[in-house]
Copies of this chain bind each other. A is one copy, B any other.
Amino acid sequence: MLTVNGPRLWNSLMEMAQVGATAAGGNCRLALSAEDFAARALFADWCHQAGMSLDTDAIGNLFAHRPGRDLHAAPVVMGSHLDTQPAGGRFDGIYGVLAGLEVVRSLNDAGITTAKPLEIAVWTNEEGARFTPAMLGSATFCNILPLSHALAVEDAQGISVATALAGHAGNLPLGRPFDAYFEAHIEQGPILEQAGLPIGVVSGGQAICWLDVEVRGDAAHAGTTPMALRHDALFAASTMINRLEQLAAAFQPHGLVTVGQLLIPASSRNTIPGHVRFTVDLRHHQDTHIAAMEQQARACLQQQAAQRGLDVAIRRHWFSAATPFDAECIAAVRRAVSALGYPHQDIVSGAGHDAIYLAQHCPTTMIFIPCRDGLSHNEAEYATPDDVRMGADVLLNAVVERAGG
């Protein structure tokens, strides 16, 4: 089996982490900021040293190219992003880019040229911290977001993507054919760490259903209103949220239910809440199950409201269907990890990734490695050198199989 140079990869990760380093040991490289361009420049230097050529497309996605033996084949692409959250970590995104670079470096060391060309993609504004929406570059590449919309998006200071990109956009066509896309990433959750496994074979992205719930009762004086005459919107909402927790239990081990925000407008300590708003985030990797979860959530919210004589309004805020990854790509990862003898398990991606959009464009999958305490979007984000190395080993072998070694 081929293996990467683990220390070289680790050293590159640590050197890249000097660009936009924060005092607390994390990174701040907002998309298309000076720090982001400095990171791209450092990456480009390394790619040039590895014999690759670089080019960009109209939304600033950066591609490093390594020719294959077959001049007409579409490339097998690796990658992720170099931008971070304002108080982000050293691995989220960066790992997928530098693991791709380490794959190329290792192939150079071994004197291997693949049949299909290889590329490393750096997607623009994956984090969504500076420009909304997140995954803006891959969405534009995959024709999910029109280029003109993407370029017109402004940050909080009113600076547009087009302005921030000036001089950094190129002529590579959006949506050009890829043979396949492989993205290595930290898990951003606790599952692999809890299981003590270095590799997650990612089967796809979850379906997500976001609901907005509004409960209306009657505000009244906490001291003068007998319990029997109250229509307390918070007591109702609390029971609803209890029932949603029970609903999650009925969809284990894959269903996720979160009430992330709850607001009592114009609340006061001695006023019975007459109005409560809360959000519901439902997730499952199977579309049939997310549909059942939404239907049961709506039914239990409505039943609770009816039982208490209150009004409830339920609106769908957003819905995204499940994204199954490509069976052949997953099988290539599975063969690589088995041949390497690394402990692993199948896992579903809970967070958003460029790969979720790429899956609509070409055969796609991801490789996860654990991160400490499941922490991400956090300066304390950490992955061990061993896990970093093993994830890149899996990427190397899966990509070489796909590209024809």
Contacts and interface: CB of A to CB of B under 8 A. Distances in A.
Given A262-B262, A281-B270, A227 B242 contact: no
A223 B256 contact: yes
Interface stretch (A44-52, A73-81, A160-168, A183-191): A183-191
A228 interface: yes
B245 A238 contact: yes
Given A242-B242, A261-B264, A270-B260, A189 B224 contact: yes
Interface residues of A, number: 59
B224 A350 contact: yes
A317 B270 CA distance: 13
B252 A260 contact: no
Given A224-B188, A224-B189, A249-B227, A261 B256 contact: no
Interface stretch (A25-33, A116-124, A229-237, A394-402): A229-237
Count of identical protomers in the assembly: 2
Contact of A261 (B220, B269, B376): B269
Nearest to A237: B238
Given A188-B221, A269-B261, A351-B221, A227 B256 contact: yes
Interface string A247-270: 011001101111111101001111
A173 interface: no
A401 to B, nearest CB: 28
Given A189-B225, A238-B245, A260-B268, 16 more contacts: A188-B224, A222-B283, A223-B283, A224-B374, A226-B256, A227-B255, A228-B253, A235-B259, A239-B242, A242-B242, A258-B270, A258-B272, A259-B273, A260-B271, A261-B268, A269-B281
